Amino acid sequence: MIRVAIANQKGGVGKTTTAINIATAMAATGWKVLLIDLDPQGNASTGIGIAANERDRSSYDLLVDQASVVDCLQPTRIPNLDIIPATVDLSGAEIELVSVENRTDRLRDALSGASGHDICFIDCPPSLGLLTLNALCAADTLLVPLQCEFFALEGLSQLLQTVERVQQRFNPDLGIVGIALTMFDRRNRLTDQVADDVRSCLGGLVFESVIPRNVRLSEAPSHGLPALVYDHSCAGSRAYMALARELITRLPEKRKAA
Ligand code: ADP
Ligand code: MG
C-alpha cells in the first residue's frame, strides 16, 4: 500500500478537500483506497458522509489503543473507498502519547501489517504536532496543498524544514510527491503572482493541475458527499480528476502493483 500524507500546518488551505476528492477520484478509477482522518475536527469523516454517531472505531483507537486497521475502518458510500474516521478523542492523543515510547511510530506500525488497499491518504490536522509527525513517519510521500496567498511561501519553508528533520531522524525515505495549488482565483492578481513565485522557487515539485476556487467544492461537504459525487462536472471536480491523474504518474512505479 502506498501511503500519502496530506499536510500543511496552516488551516483552511484545502487539505481535507484535497484528501476527500483525490481519494474519491482514485477510487473511481479502480484503486482500492483508504482515507485516514487524522484531524480531531473530523472534517474528512463528516465530508464523506460518516456522521459523528457512526464513528464506532476511529484513528484514536488506531494510535492510542493500537487497534488494527481492519478493526477501525468502515466503508463509505463510494465504491472502493474506506475510511478510518476521526473523533474528538483524537485531540487528547497528543498528550496521551507524550510519555509513550515509539510515539512517532504508532501510525507506521499500524499500517505496516495492513493489506487490502492500494493506497492510503492521511488527512493531517493544521499543526506540526505529534499527529502530523505520525503521518510523516508513516508516509512514503507527502502531498502539500498550498493556498496562493501572501504568506504561503513562509509557511511552506517551515513545513519543508520539518520534512527534512523527519527524513534525518525517522523516515529517510519520505519524499514529496508534489505541491498542489488550491483555491486559485484567476481574477486575483496576487494569487497569480504567488503561483508564479511558488513555481519559480520549487519548479517541478508543483503540480501542473491547479485547483480553482469553486463554490461547489465548498458546498459538497455539507451534503456528506465528495464534490466528485455531488457535482462531477463542476470545475473543482474536473481539477481534482486531473490532479489525481497527475498524481498517479508521479507515484513510485514499483508500488503501483502492491
Ligand atoms: P484544511 O483541511 O486545510 O483546513 P479545507 O479543505 O477544510 O482546508 O478547506 C477550508 C475551507 O475552504 C472549507 O470550507 C472548504 O470547503 C473550502 N474550500 C477548500 N477548497 C476550496 C476551493 N478550491 N474552492 C472553494 N472553497 C474551498
Ligand atoms: Mg482539514
Among protein residues, the one with the nearest Cα to ligand 1's atom 13 is 218
Q: State the 10-residue block means of pLDDT for the chain, 258 residues long.
A: 96 97 97 98 97 96 96 97 97 92 94 92 96 97 92 86 95 95 89 88 93 97 96 98 97 58
- CATH number at 114 reads 3.40.50.300
Q: Is the pTM of this model over 0.90?
A: yes
Residue 182 Cα, ligand 2 centroid: separation in angstroms?
13
Q: Is the Cβ atom of 15 under 6 angstroms away from ligand 1?
A: yes
3-state secondary structure of 221: helix
The best mutation among 132, 218, 231, 238 to test binding of ligand 1, ranked by most ligand atoms within 8 Å of the C-beta, falls on 218
Residue 128 located in a structural domain:
yes
ipTM score above 0.85? yes
Q: How many domains does the chain have?
A: 1
Q: What are phi and psi of 14, to 5 degrees?
A: 105, 20
Q: Is the Cβ atom of 13 under 6 angstroms away from ligand 1?
A: yes
Please report the pLDDT score of residue 188 as a whole number.
85
Please report the pLDDT score of residue 253 as a whole number.
65
Among protein residues, the one with the nearest Cα to ligand 1's atom 11 is 12
Residue 209 half-sphere exposure toward CB, CA atoms < 13 A: 21
Please report the pLDDT score of residue 212 as a whole number.
96
* Cβ-contact 19, 43 below 8 angstroms: no
Residue 257 located in a structural domain:
no
Residue 223 located in a structural domain:
yes
- Whose cell is 457535482? That residue is 231
Please report the pLDDT score of residue 256 as a whole number.
47
Please report the pLDDT score of residue 40 as a whole number.
97
Domain that holds residue 214: 2-251
